[in-house]
Copies of this chain bind each other. A is one copy, B any other.
Amino acid sequence: MNLWFTENQTDNLRLSFRVKNLVEFRKSKFQTLAVYDTVEYGRLFTLDDFVMLTEKDEFVYHEMISHIALSCHPKPENILVIGGGDGGTIREIERHSRVKNITLVEIDREVVEISKKHLPFVACGFDDERVSVIIDDGIEYIKNHKNKFDIIFIDSTDPVAFAEGLFHTDFYKFVFDALKKDGIMVAQTEYPFLKGDFIKEVFSSLKQVFPIVSPYLAFIPTYPTGMWSFAFASKKYHYINDLNPEFTKDFAEKLKYYTPEVHKAAFALPKFVKDLIE
């Protein structure tokens, strides 16, 4: 069978996956959702034909968006996740027994539904009693909560359509206000090789709001260029100086990407990335 799913990563670059089966395709109020079985990467989940995750490499994104901040905050009791309706990020956050409450605010109810139905490997943590799922616009939600969270994760889609507002200075100010006085924010911030100007702008915005800001990087094969960036933005704790390897020790053997050494290394930026944000 010669069936392929192709992502137009940019107008001029395409990644194609050989597909065994189209599992589901539907349109929600916000976007089109699809699930495929691929030969190389297992189950594949797309929104508007952009790769959200694959079964084989999702561990990188989800471990790296979550454990970095959770390894720097000494008392991460109240956590907010904006987006992340597939459940992968909360699955990782739940490993930390110090976490008491996780609020997940997902705009599209059908992302949660389709994930529970077809992506059990990521959507396995919704029943944890610490989790509350709120179907709402993350921007509206965050505006209405002040001084409440220890860590906020912005686990969003790409900066287009309804997710575009998640990458602006005004939004980062709401996030700052929603955090407690020693809070940390982590956000996904796209791919430096081809989105240099975007990343420059995002980090310039973040630096206007937070005193401690740095990108960090991870290898994600199914995202454009394979080099993905995240923003660490913090009021008090430093991404290296406050790293405590004890915080991941209990479940270190279960992880496939994150280690305390990888944590430190993720902030060692290739020179062209360093130059972008300085």
Contact = CB atoms under 8 A, between A and B. Distances in A.
A34 B57 CA distance: 32
Interface string A188-230: 0000011000000000000000000000010111001111000
Copies of this chain in its oligomeric complex: 2
A133 interface: no
Contact of A38 (B12, B18, B221, B257): B12
Contact of A255 (B18, B193, B194, B271): B271
Interface in A10-61: 10-18, 38-41, 56-57, 60
A275 to B, nearest CB: 8
B257 A262 contact: no
A153 interface: no
A217 B16 CA distance: 24
A15 B15 contact: yes
A256 B268 contact: no
Given A16-B14, A57-B193, A262 B271 contact: yes
Interface of A: 4, 6, 10-18, 38-41, 56-57, 60, 193-194, 217, 219-221, 224-227, 255-259, 261-262, 264-266, 268-272, 274
Closest 4 CB pairs of A and B: A226-B226, A265-B268, A265-B265, A221-B225
